[in-house]
Structure 1
């Protein structure tokens, strides 16, 4: 069966999910199976254990206070970068440095997640930056003892495929009773129209297979999945909105948590048209009041350029990529930023930094 024909079957409930594997060579994706439901998608991974890190040898300027989500970036002499996510981070104290009293040590508490890229470093890290991912670093130092340690991965979480009709490649994998499908595997989520709403790696690490609670010849399959691959609890209300199709009402993302807005951006990215022609010129209008947070600003930018549910970068680097083409509008064009002062009240210097970057890339920004 072709994947494009897999979204419908003769049953009293719809197909909601497809299990898809990577094809061999130039072959396209391979349908492994289709399912009526999935239980466990919106489970949050447990937070990483909290640690105390000391960023040593920083110029004065950092102040104690809660940060929320932050990052620590390490750089080698050649410019190689590694990043560590800091979850629920807080600057606990700032004190004269033990190495140089003219400098300060910045003590940071939080959960630490690492992608282990530090193992590929081409030399020692000579500079570390504590950052919120935008604007100037909060602190820059010479060392962070213990940061580059190996950490345990979060435990795999159970995800249950309900009412699953396996295709032959999946039946072959299930005949093994337990184990992993040998290739890269994704879960495709369909909206009410049958359009693919979301695609994400899911793996195919089978714990058990049983006759489905929905009856017939269907099966239920329990998988163990990397917790970081799941959309998480904040995505549930977002997926509920997008199930009926791409939202048509402006500002539908407002009021979501910042994580919820991040999930909104993921669905907006999947929903963007592909293969279209970039357009330059014209005037776009950005509603700058009520963006609430940095992710909200990027939701508003996507909506301004590409309409409700539109995507135009989910953060600073993503916005720069969109300005280069492939995402609708390309410079030169005019962006009328309504209530710019209100955006600044909510996000401090970040709106001005975004506006200057846009202007540097050929966008005329009118601050209204």
Structure 2
């Protein structure tokens, strides 16, 4: 029996197959998902608090207020707290978002200004602003904002201003370090030199599903050796690393998709929320692109297991596209698929949401420590679907 070649490298520009191989060391690694953030302490120096920050200090409001934004004016000569015009690109690059923040202390400012030094605890949203949060921008001070979601729209509330911030700008370990050097196991001979390639997962029927930018393979061959997986195969050692390696518990799930995908609905129901998120990602990559089903098709959403945000997307994906189906993994793609098509259902379709009370009970207002945003509620989902033309029937 020939050895199955489960993976493929495709030239990034031409799409030409560079190599087929059985397995790949360095793609799946033993890591916790999602990565738990490191909480840090920040101090707002010479701060004039207002709004929710002032309420947290004087006791008229909660010490915890979710996400906190510090925005520095790009012009160092601009007075503290004075904002540039809306959508100023330079100021946007000086913005930092702190997550799950609470006030843990305050005292008179050390500079004798009569203002306050305020201690916060939280963690920084991982982004590229200010060289990944390592270098403080050249600004004269910061405007402070609290972002919240009201009726599905983001709103900002002023929380005051401060002269400087201690503890925010410094080197941190990579939140998602690259994987180890890659070895292509059981590879057909012929791969050599340097290349820039996309990685694709190959089903037993030969269908290849290209993965994302986070799993690209840029590098060159270091050495090849005979493989134990077949007399005519080699193991190829690369100097490349996967930018964002996948969770070890992804491997079994991907093996199921390779064999054809789930054969019955609700197999995801036994998973916890983190693995349900992985399920939705696997479903997105392995989706079979086909024309939308005819107008007038009625879809039945089994809501018995919709106890969290990711469970809803597992359930609606299967309602539209069968076991292991995908119909979005967030509100953006839910809107795109429902309103404009391309996800398997012709817009304007009718959907019967069975056992909708489960989601109504579990998807409630609060702070979602998976997305680090205000939680998406049952009412938010209903509003999104109905505004996008879905004829929704709740049962």
Shift, 1:253, TM fit:
1.4
In the alignment, is the contact (CA less than 8 A) between 1:254 and 1:296 conserved in 2?
yes
- After superposition, the Cα gap between the structure-2 partners of 1:348 and 1:139, relative to the gap in structure 1 and judged at 3 Å, is farther
1:337 to 353, 356, 371: 353
Bigger drift between 289-298 and 122-131 goes to 122-131
Residue 240 of structure 1 corresponds to: 255
Residue 126 of structure 2 corresponds to: 114
In the alignment, is the contact (CA less than 8 A) between 2:64 and 2:100 conserved in 1?
yes
Residue 50 of structure 1 corresponds to: 38
Shift, 1:291, TM fit:
2.3
In the alignment, is the contact (CA less than 8 A) between 1:265 and 1:314 conserved in 2?
yes
* Counterparts of residues 141-156 of structure 1 (less than 5 Å): 147=168, 151=172, 153=174, 154-156=177-179
- After superposition, the Cα gap between the structure-2 partners of 1:164 and 1:355, relative to the gap in structure 1 and judged at 3 Å, is same
Residue 318 of structure 1 corresponds to: 333
Residue 160 of structure 1 corresponds to: 183
Cα root mean square deviation, aligned: 4.2
Bigger drift between 34-43 and 307-316 goes to 34-43
Shift, 1:273, TM fit:
3.3
In the alignment, is the contact (CA less than 8 A) between 1:234 and 1:257 conserved in 2?
no
Q: Secondary structure at the match of 1:204?
A: strand
Q: Deviations over 1:193-214 (max 9, x none)?
A: 2222552423335454333233
Residue 362 of structure 1 corresponds to: 389
Shift, 1:296, TM fit:
1.2
Q: Secondary structure at the match of 1:357?
A: helix
- After superposition, the Cα gap between the structure-2 partners of 1:277 and 1:304, relative to the gap in structure 1 and judged at 3 Å, is closer
Paired residues, what number?
A: 333
Residue 314 of structure 2 corresponds to: 299
2:5 to 4, 15, 21: 15
Q: Secondary structure at the match of 2:246?
A: coil
Q: Secondary structure at the match of 2:269?
A: coil
Q: Secondary structure at the match of 2:386?
A: helix
Q: Secondary structure at the match of 1:222?
A: strand
Distance 1:127 1:280 in 2: 49
* Counterparts of residues 91-102 of structure 1 (less than 5 Å): 91=101, 93=103
* Larger RCO: 1 or 2 (CA < 8 Å, sep 6+): 2
Residue 3 of structure 1 corresponds to: none
Q: Secondary structure at the match of 1:203?
A: strand
Unaligned runs of 5+ in 1: 1-10, 174-180
Shift, 1:223, TM fit:
3.4
Matched, 1:30 2:16: yes
Distance 1:139 1:44 in 2: 39
- After superposition, the Cα gap between the structure-2 partners of 1:273 and 1:211, relative to the gap in structure 1 and judged at 3 Å, is closer
In the alignment, is the contact (CA less than 8 A) between 1:161 and 1:220 conserved in 2?
yes
